[in-house]
Amino acid sequence: MPNVIARILDWPWFPLIARIVLTFPFWGSGISKTIDFQGAVAEMQQFGLKPPVLIALLVIFTQLGGSLLVIANRRTWSGAGALAIFTLLTIPIAHDFWNLKGDAAKQEFYFAVEHISVVGGLMLAAILSRYSPRKGA
């Protein structure tokens, strides 16, 4: 490994930045849903989720709470696990490519694959938290 890369990886703030970047899609979405709660409720209705207000609140709680646990490196396994389960659940709800045809099916398939990659990143965050100074406990 080049020395400059090793120095970047050893920088004390680098793990925190990595956890913030990893969770950006979740806390960004959670903040957006909080600011536009009626839009969040409409989104839940669009996907047929009932009761939409309760589901919107649970989604916001999961996105913000899970992100906070991962970013803080406290009970990281719990936050990463909640975000991973949430992410996997969005595939059959919002990215059901198997029910679509043509370009729409291809686009939703790519979203599903990206979601699976994010789950892999969350898994790595949980693994690495075991070896961090705060232990991710």
- pLDDT per position as a tens digit, 21-76: 999 999 999 999 999 999 999 999 999 999 999 999 999 999 999 999 999 999 99
- pLDDT per position as a tens digit, 68-127: 999 999 999 999 999 999 999 999 999 999 999 999 999 999 999 999 999 999 999 999
DSSP annotation of 2 reads -
Tell me, rounded to whole angstroms, the distance of Cα 54 from its chain centroid.
20
Residues 6 or more apart in contact with residue 12 via CB below 8 angstroms: none
**Euclidean distance between CA atoms 26 and 59, whole angstroms:** 10
Give the pLDDT confidence score for residue 134 in this predicted structure: 65
Residues 6 or more apart in contact with residue 59 via CB below 8 angstroms: 30, 33, 40, 44, 86
